[in-house]
Amino acid sequence: MYSPIVLDHFHHPRHVGVVSAATGHARLENPVCGDVVEFWIRVVEDRLEEIGFRAFGCAAAIASASMLAELVRGLSSREVLTLEAADLVEALGGLPPSKTHGAALAVETLRAALGEGVIS
């Protein structure tokens, strides 16, 4: 049911953990299914220099956070904000329809971390 890309990111997640000297942080939860995603970012001169995540949830939630971190590293804030959940789903080689909320939660959490700009 999961693409090889999703399984790869689930079994070997990239960018796990807290980022030092983070300039932004957010943690969001999907109240329905219980998935939780947390991002730390360090933005330097409008470049997303470093990103780290922790996630609780199904393979889709974990792989989404991992893939998103990979996709956005080195991008400008504006470039990050243009990324949609659909782009993430595509990068993952697709997600089952009942799992796309995992990608949406990751995108939303990262946007919150960018918007926040300060560590909470």
Partner 1 sequence: MIYLDHAATTPVAPEVLEAMLPYFTRVYANPSNVHRPSLEARRALDQARQGVAGHLGARQASEIVFTASGTEADNLAVLGLARAHREHGDHVVTTRIEHHAVLHACDQLEREGFRVTRLPVDEWGRVDPQAVLEACGPGTVLVSVMLANNEIGSLQPVAEIAELLRGRGILLHSDAVQAVGHIPVDVGQLGVDALSLSAHKFHGPKGVGALYLKTGIRVEPLLFGGGQERGLRSGTENVPGVVGLARALDLACAGREERAERLRTLRNRLVERVLGELPDAHLTGHPESRLPGTASFVFDGAEGESLLLQLDRKGICVSTGSACSNATLEPSHVLKALGLPLQRAHGSLRLTLGRENTVEEVDQAAQALVEAVRRLRSLAPRSRS
Tokens of 30: 């999907």
Q: Is 32 in the site for partner 1 (CB under 8 A)?
A: yes
Q: Is 118 in the site for partner 1 (CB under 8 A)?
A: no
Q: Which of 43, 52, 57, 100 binds partner 1 (CB under 8 A)?
A: 57
Q: Which of 5, 36, 75, 81 binds partner 1 (CB under 8 A)?
A: 36
Q: How many Cα atoms sit within 13 Å of 43 on the Cβ side?
A: 23
Tokens of 45: 């001169």
Q: Is 16 in the site for partner 1 (CB under 8 A)?
A: yes
Please provide residue 3's backbone torsions phi and psi, each rounded to the nearest 5 degrees. -70, 160
